[in-house]
Amino acid sequence: VTDELRGAYSASRLTRQRREIAAAVTRMPGAFSAAQLAAELHGNGVAAGLATVYRALTSLEASGWIEKAGQREGAALFTHCAVEHHHHHLVCTTCGRVEHAPCPLEGVLAGVAESTGFVITGHDVALYGTCAACGAREGAQ
């Protein structure tokens, strides 16, 4: 167990809070916000400041142990995914459950809804990069 946590926090100190936070993450049934994770901890009688939760989430995301999975009411959502390869998330707006979907840039996503039983009611997609003009400008410098 400790081995996995070491990797999750990538070479930092393993404190009681970080251990508890990682445990709470695995207990979350789906995508969760920092506040929800803190609530889960407090519900289990574990003391951990919100700031600490945020700092831990930042570490866990940096190591790739958890990933951002969109937003819900202005709050960032995270999810712990074992999936190694690059992928995307299907977040159930009712229960927060998360399904993994192959990256649309690498293949066809159509049919995913059918195979997972997910009914997609909406989605938010933003792709970032450099446009032709800026790419040329940078390349020229």
The reply on whether position 76 binds DNA by CB under 7 A is: yes
The reply on whether position 39 binds DNA by CB under 7 A is: no
Span interacting with DNA, options 42-50, 84-92, 93-101, 118-126, rule CB under 7 A: 42-50
Of positions 16, 71, 75, 83, contacts its own copies by CB under 8 A: 71
Q: Which is nearer to DNA, 50 or 136 (CB)?
A: 50
Span interacting with its own copies, options 9-17, 18-26, 52-60, 117-125, rule CB under 8 A: 117-125
The reply on whether position 35 binds its own copies by CB under 8 A is: no
The reply on whether position 93 binds DNA by CB under 7 A is: no
Query: Which residue pairs, CB below 8 angstroms and at least 24 apart, start in 33-36?
Result: 33/72, 33/75, 33/76, 33/77, 33/78, 34/75, 34/76, 34/78, 35/75
If 0-12 CB within 10 Å is exposed, 13-18 middle and 19+ buried, where does residue 47 land?
exposed
Token pair listed for 2: 């400790």
